[in-house]
Amino acid sequence: MNALKTYILLAGLTALFMGAGFMIGGPTGMLIALVIAVGLNAFSYWNADKIVLKTYGAVEVDGSDADRRIRDYVIDVQAMADRAGLPRPRVCVMQNDQPNAFATGRDPEHAAVAATTGLLSMLDRDEIAAVMAHELAHVKNRDTLTMTVTATLAGAISALANFAFFFGGSRDEDRPGGMIGAIAIAILAPFAAMLVQMAISRSREYEADRSGAQIGGDPAALARALQKIEAYARGGYENHQAERNPATAHMFIINPLNGHGADNLFSTHPATHNRVEALLALGVGQGVRGRRAGTAVPVSAGKSAGPWA
């Protein structure tokens, strides 16, 4: 089913890309856009994960690192991957004060997970493990290819729409929309791409929460982690790379962009309180295998935790 959804998603994004090409250059522009879209799909399949990791300055780490937090992080990810029957992914760290994480890769055999330095310093070990269990769930559910390719194509559609706005005002008869069409595609193409992002993110995040709670064995720890990440992200810890690359926002466990975590049309993620309620309901009657049992509680949005040293 996920494979079918991926094909439908790619077809939809390709159609958007071709539509933008048609508004810019008529049938010829649409054909050129098709060729570019096919090339982007192929390139994204093989290389999008590397691009995303490089965009965020993610560096691979291993269990030999001198920092105890990184050692624990690597050990826990590897142990959970083994427990979930997954190949061990590359484990990466991003220098970023905002606590957050994502997974990428075209399949479980070529997967990578990445956590920010803010996540490693502001959450306890159980919560970090729960977050990474969520990311491993994306790998296990084969969401990572769809999420990564979507980021690449959505960004390309936005770029093409901007091109249409600035260069689509020609009176050439082969360009059916003229300036009006250029303005329309500049507005509608990014919006449509955003709708696709929201559709895949919100449904897959709920499923990854559920599967991640099973892999990590501690739904309450994941619920606490989501609340903390949300509070810090909205409390002043900005993710500047994400702000410059908003098409990648859906890849993170919590929306890294400044805004409100409302479960509405303009959110790339489900509302955090909805996810927390679902996790706590999932944890009722379950034994907790984490190092510390606990319930989700609100946290201050202040900066008491400080940046990762």
* Alpha-helix runs per DSSP H in 235-299: 240-244, 272-283
pTM of the model: 0.77
Quick one: average pLDDT of 54-60? 94
Burial label for 83, CB within 10 Å (0-12, 13-18, 19+), is middle
From the candidates 135, 230, 238, 243, which is the catalytic residue?
Answer: 135
Are 193 and 153 in contact by the 8 Å Cβ rule? The answer is yes
Cα angle 4, 8, 13 (rounded to 5 degrees) comes to 150
In 250-274, which positions are buried (b, 16+ CB within 10 angstroms) versus exposed (e)? Answer: bbbbbbbbeeebeeeeebbbbbbbb
Would strands 59-60 and 90-94 be described as parallel, antiparallel, or unpaired? antiparallel
What pLDDT score does 295 carry?
Answer: 44
| 230 is a catalytic site residue | no
More confident residue, 296 or 239: 239
Out of 5-14, 271-280, 284-293, least confident range: 284-293
**Where in the chain are the domains?**
2-283
Q: Which helix (H) or strand (E) holds 92?
A: strand 90-94
Spatial distance between the Cα atoms of 167 and 34, rounded to a whole number of angstroms: 19
Spatial distance between the Cα atoms of 222 and 208, rounded to a whole number of angstroms: 11
Quick one: average pLDDT of 18-26? 74
